[in-house]
Structures are given as structure tokens and as C-alpha cells.
Structure 1
Amino acid sequence: MAQVKGEFDVKRTPEGGFDLGGGSVTGHFRFDKQFHGALDASSIVHMLAVGTAVEGSAAYVAIERISGTLDGLSGSFLTQHNGTLDRGAPTLSVTVVPDSGTDDLQGLSGRMTIDIVEGKHFYSFDYEIAE
């Protein structure tokens, strides 16, 4: 597997929430990202998020389309996000959707981690492209 790391900029836009029944509502957000470094790309993310009555417990799911270049290879691909906050303890999985790579990125698979440090967003992306 290859690994690339870098920073990304992100803009969040609230969209309308969705009624889950029983008084529960999920938040819906759009994120526009610009990745810098060996992943030189832009993306659009749509996220659904919920919180609970317990402080620090929440969850989100999202689908993201990333388009640009990865180590000089052009194309786009989709990722699936699955995040939880268990009384303040975060877990996050960001995985490439199988067979979603286009153009030079056909056969792409991998996982991304996201870190936020002092308000800046960083990614680390472990990936491979099947021959």
C-alpha cells in the first residue's frame, strides 16, 4: 500500500434536517473540501448526524466524491464515512467505496484518517490500485 498525507480546507453548509420519527431529527450538512499535497483534489460530502441525550455521544454517516489527482493519477472516487462519539471517545472509518474509481483511479481501494489539530484539518490516505 502507498500512503499520502496532507492538509485540506473545508467549508460546512447546513442543509435541512430529516425527521426520524418519535421526535428525533438528524442534521444534514454539506461539506466542500480542497485537498492539498499528493492528493490534489476537491470533494463534496453529504453528512447525516445525530446526537443523544448523553453529552458526548453522537454518530454520523456520509458519502463523499473526491475528484482530482492522487500521486499524479487523475480521476475521481467515492468514500463512505462512519463516525461515532461514545461519551467523548471518537471512532472514525473512511473507506473507498469498492469499484468507484474512475479514469486512472480505476481499481482504487483504501482507507483515510482525518485529524484536526489546532483548527487545521489533516488527512492520511493508505491506498492501492489493483492492476
Structure 2
Amino acid sequence: MNSILSDKKPLVATGEFSITLSPPEAVLREGAPTSGRHTLSKTYQGGLQGRASGEMLSAGQPQNGQASYVAIESFTGTLGGQRGGFSLAHFGEMDNGSETLKVNIVPGSGNGELTGIRGHLQIRRDTGKHFYTLTYWIIY
């Protein structure tokens, strides 16, 4: 953990989000495996309220349970009653039944009343719905 955050108590926001993901656009490079580029659009509800849009790159064979993705999404709206925006960086991987996902707030991306925000987001899927827990700090 960043030493600047070690003595601050984190804030937590929870809720649900919906996502629209475009079909993959193939990214072809001679002699390399095919990867896909997607656009994404999200609507957040709960402690985090607003919209996000971004891009995702994926590779591998998700139909066989082996793939990775990286993405950047930019959020704008409110968090805990504070208006502004920030970006989230994703890294996800699936391999033979095991899945890992790391989503961090991009340092320096906060604006408006969310300037100085740091933290990470956890995503949970349940019966076709997406839920989040955002743990964050705002450094003034």
C-alpha cells in the first residue's frame, strides 16, 4: 500500500452496474496471435452514480477458459455525494477454471471534487448482474 495512505481510513462505496460491451474488432499483427479490441459503456448505481466508457483489449481463448484482458474506463458522476471523475485500469485473467481480476483507480486521474482519489474496485457477478465494492481514499 502507498505510504501516503497507510494512516488514513479507507472509504467504501457499493452498488450495481450494467455494462454494454461491443463485439471484438480483430487486431491483427503478422505472425502474432489475434487479439480483440472492444468498447465498453457502463452505468453505475449505488454509492458510485454515473457513467463510464472505455476500451478493452483481449487475447486468448475465452471459450476454452484461457484468456486475459486489459482495459481503461473513464468514470464521471458522483461518489459519496462528491462530483467529478476518475479512470480505472483493469487486468483480468482466466486460466483453467481460475479467474483473477485487478481494477485500480489510475493515480492522477481524479478531477473535480474527486481530485486526489486513490483506490481499487472489486467486481462480483451473480445471476447475470454485476456488483462492485470501491475502496478509496481522497488525498487533499
Query: TM-score per shorter chain, which class?
Result: over 0.9
**1:39–1:71 Cα contact (<8 Å) kept:** yes
Gaps of 5+ in 1: none
Give deviations 1:28-69, integer Å, cap 9, x for gaps.
111110000110010002100011499311100000000000
Following TM superposition, where does structure 1 have runs of at least 4 consecutive aligned residues deviating by more than 4 angstroms?
A: none
Amino acid at match of 1:123: Y
Partners of 1:44 and 1:119 in 2: how far apart?
20
* Identity in percent: 36
Instruction: List aligned pairs for 1:1-131, cutoff 5 A.
Output: 1-52=10-61, 55-131=64-140
Higher strand share: 1
**Counterpart code for 2:15:** G
- How far is the alpha carbon of 1:97 from its aligned partner? 0.6
Displacement of 1:130 in angstroms is 0.4
Matched positions, count: 131
The runs of 5 or more residues in structure 2 that have no matched partner are: 1-9
Deviates more, 1:15-24 or 1:1-10: 15-24
Query: 2: distance between equivalents of 1:89 and 1:124?
Result: 21
Q: TM-score, normalised by structure 2?
A: 0.88
Question: So what's the TM-score if we normalise by structure 1?
Answer: 0.94
1:47-101 per-residue CA deviation (whole Å, 9 max, x = no partner) reads: 0001149931110000000000000000110110001112120000000110100
Distance 1:47 1:54, change over 3 A: closer
